[in-house]
Amino acid sequence: MKILIELPTWLGDAVMTSPAIESLVSLYPNSEIIFLGSHNSIQLFKFHPNSIRLVELNRSLLSIYTFAKCLGIFDMFVSFRSSKRATLMKYFVNADLKFIFDKRIYSHGHQVERYMGFINESFNVDLNAGPLKIHIPKKLSSIKKPILGINPGASYGSAKRWYPDRFAISASKLSDQFDIFIYGGPEDSEIVNDIKNKLDELNVKNYKILAGEMSVAELVISISKLDLFITADSGPMHIASAFKIPSICLFGPTKDSETSQWMNSESIILKANLECQPCMKKTCPLKHHNCMKAISSEDVVKNSLNLLGQVKIN
């Protein structure tokens, strides 16, 4: 069985397809899978045991016919995208069976449950969504001192971002127990630099900036080794959930009921519970950003210590 799977564009959404994909593999255990998607999303499945090829999506609508035909012949096409481009891909791709996710139909519950509902209905099964799953090579080394990861970036928009001084203060207060890794993409250079400057001001030395320096595969492996993660609602937050990393998750304008960490019992959501939440806007429409301002560094540190009291640190 040769299956072409089209992944969502966003990293976090791609992670949240993994229980549905694992269920699909359970139905077709000997399948050979070609993963199609954005540069970031396909890298999540680089080490999947059923993966035989990763293909970066050609985003040009004008060349989609040629692109689809060049992919080859498949027994099945499954798309987790709900867009005009995905609809065209379904029409043009050479596959005996074709299934495409429709966000208008699957609009309730956690995003993981929506993807799982799509698989259940498409294949006439009734499977439960299992945990998130990202396959990685065996860990080759162990790190002696526990590691705190902080992830200030959020691709969705500035409304989801907490403040650099608060990330730095929180990290500073935990720096006696942890070495600190700072994550982020190239677009996060400004906020990461602000965190660095504040850590230097607080005389914290045991930090390492990894922002903009790692591939997605390297990011996954690095996050899998963390002992604590302080993060905005983001793709790396879902990667941490796949490895059940103790996490403090900061929510402002987005819906934690839909995009919180899936099946991670060692996860704490911090949010302000304001009347204007969740607005689902990329920038604060009221110009005050109170949903994130209301979360203090003291809240983060206190909840981190409470969480660490419940779990064993390596």
> Helices marked H in 8-141 — which ranges?
11-16, 18-27, 39-43, 64-70, 84-92, 111-123
What is the rounded average pLDDT of the residues 55-78? 93
Distances (CA, A) of 51 to 46, 55, 126, 178, 219: 7, 11, 25, 36, 19
What whole-number distance in Å separates Cα of residue 178 and Cα of residue 246? 13
Residue 290 burial by Cβ neighbours in a 10 Å radius (0-12, 13-18, 19+): middle
**Which of 33-37, 152-156, 210-214 is predicted with the least confidence, judged by mean pLDDT?**
152-156
Q: What is the pLDDT of residue 145?
A: 84
pLDDT digits (tens, 9 = 90+) for 270-309: 999 999 999 999 999 999 999 999 999 999 999 999 998 8
Phi/psi at 4 (nearest 5 deg)? -100, 120
What whole-number distance in Å separates Cα of residue 282 and Cα of residue 18? 26
Could you tell me if 3 and 33 are in contact, meaning their C-beta atoms sit under 8 angstroms apart? yes
Of the candidates 35, 103, 81, 44, the one whose C-alpha atom is nearest the C-alpha of residue 242 is 44
Percent of the residues in the chain that have a pLDDT greater than 90, as a whole number: 89
pLDDT digits (tens, 9 = 90+) for 22-32: 999 999 999 99
The tokens for 311 are 């779990």
Containing 54, the helix (H) or strand (E) segment is: strand 51-56
Mean per-residue pLDDT of the chain: 94
What is the rounded average pLDDT of the residues 136-163? 82
The tokens for 156 are 């969705």
Instruction: Inform me whether the pLDDT recorded for 314 exceeds 80.
Output: no
Q: What is the pLDDT of residue 58?
A: 85
Distances (CA, A) of 207 to 37, 159, 181, 200: 33, 26, 6, 10
pLDDT digits (tens, 9 = 90+) for 218-266: 999 999 999 999 999 999 999 999 999 999 999 999 999 999 999 999 9
Q: What is the pLDDT of residue 139?
A: 65
Percent of the residues in the chain that have a pLDDT greater than 70, as a whole number: 96
Domains of the chain from N-terminus onward? 2-123 (3.40.50.2000), 147-308 (3.40.50.2000)
